[in-house]
Amino acid sequence: MHYIKNLRQYGIFIVFSIICLIISFISPQFLTVSNWTIIITQVSINALLAFGVTFVIITGGIDLSLGSIVAVAGVSAAMLAHPDSYPVLVPVFAGLLAGLLIGAFNGFIITKSKIAPFIVTLGTMTIGRGLALILSNGRPVSNLSEPFVFIGSGKIMNIPVLIVILVLMFILCSIILNKTILGRYIYAVGGNEQAARASGINVTQVKMAVYSISGLLAGLAGILLTSRITTGQPNAGAGFELDAIAAVVIGGTSTTGGKGTIAGTLIGVLLIGVINNSLDLLNVTSYYQQVVMGIIIIGAVVLDSLNQKSNS
């Protein structure tokens, strides 16, 4: 119970449940195991990006380079994942490393230059896209090995690997944020940076850490996407950062920093996924889909903020 009281996204969880309930009345296919397996696989990539950027947003920052990191990591991994070239760990490691390096670069520039994270990551977003195009010559990198493709479409004990990875990352990120010193420092830096510094927290290190985590998870997302669509696409991931940030905000993380949870972000990610899925199930045309999605994003956040006001 104590745990639930700490969930600031209590309101959003109710909104999410109500929406699911309504959809399940309209569309009989909605509440089936097979449909939910699909929804969760479809949101897994956005979920990893959203988990990563949750850390960044709690410190009061932002990361716009996520989509480009997905492309760089995906292309790098794909180039090393051709059959009979390297064991599958090599492309996976390369993708993660690419993500980590770009994330650490973000953190380094942001902490050393004091330039706003918005600007720095906007820059790396463009640099990353360019790198992905350079690496791949502007063409998709295909012909990937069986073990590499297994990551995106295989199953372990009848559960898709993507879902297994999603659950593991959810647990890992929740632990980092709730149970470690780093987690406490992240909230402290986002709540009040001056105070955090005064109390002896190494703010530079904390920021380096959050951008590196965000980059690393985006790298992982790039590997999963590449494996899922069996090709490394230099233009993959464009606009993914916005979906991820939307999910984080829907999930109750404050864009001014200091507040937010991984569980809330997961609800935000699922809400977006459920809406996309159900509008397709009901064959709503894409014009209306975009309008509906926008209304739900704003509506969810408004409801949540009303809920928080009445609580305090």
Partner 1 sequence: MKYTHLILIGLLLFITGCNQSESNKNNAPDKIVIGISMLSMQNEFIVNISDEMQKKAEELGAELIIVDAERSPLKQIEQVESFIAQKVDVIILNPCEYEASSPAVTKALAANIPIVNVNSATKVQPTAFVGSNDVESGRIAMKFIAEKLGSKGNIVMIQGLNGQAAQIQREQGAKEIMAEFPGLNMFAQQTAEWDRAKSMDLMQNWIQSYGTKINAVFAHNDEMGLGAVKALQDAGMKDKVIVVSIDAITDALQAVKKGDLDATVFQDARKQGAGAIETAVKIARGQKFDREVLIPFKLLVKEDVDSYLK
Residue numbers at the binding site for partner 1 (CB under 8 A): 27, 29, 32, 34-35, 38, 42, 133, 137-140, 142-143, 153, 225, 228-231, 233-236, 276-277, 280-283, 285-287
Residue 232 is given by DSSP the state: B
What minimum distance in Å lies between the beta carbon of 199 and partner 1?
37
Answer whether 62's CB lies under 8 Å from 245's CB.
yes
- Nearer residue to partner 1 within complex by CB, 210 or 225: 225
- Nearer residue to partner 1 within complex by CB, 52 or 234: 234
Mark out the alpha helices in 230-281 (DSSP H runs). 240-250, 262-281
Q: Give the chain's length.
A: 312
What minimum distance in Å lies between the beta carbon of 304 and partner 1?
26
What minimum distance in Å lies between the beta carbon of 51 and partner 1?
19
What minimum distance in Å lies between the beta carbon of 278 and partner 1?
9
Question: Could you give the CA distance from residue 104 to residue 84 in angstroms, rounded to a whole number?
Answer: 32
Answer whether 177's CB lies under 8 Å from 153's CB.
no
- Nearer residue to partner 1 within complex by CB, 160 or 183: 160
Question: Could you give the CA distance from residue 127 to residue 129 in angstroms, rounded to a whole number?
Answer: 6
Residues contacting residue 62 through CB under 8 Å, at least 6 positions apart: 53, 56, 117, 118, 121, 245, 255
- Nearer residue to partner 1 within complex by CB, 134 or 302: 134
3-state secondary structure of 155: strand
What minimum distance in Å lies between the beta carbon of 282 and partner 1?
8
CA contacts within 13 A on the Cβ side of 52? 35
Closest to 39 (Cα-Cα) out of 218, 294, 242, 276 = 276
Detail the DSSP E strand segments found in 137-229.
155-156, 159-160
What minimum distance in Å lies between the beta carbon of 311 and partner 1?
36
106: amino acid identity, one letter: N
What minimum distance in Å lies between the beta carbon of 43 and partner 1?
10
Answer whether 97's CB lies under 8 Å from 158's CB.
no
What minimum distance in Å lies between the beta carbon of 243 and partner 1?
12
- Nearer residue to partner 1 within complex by CB, 58 or 224: 224
Detail the DSSP E strand segments found in the chain.
155-156, 159-160
Answer whether 36's CB lies under 8 Å from 208's CB.
no
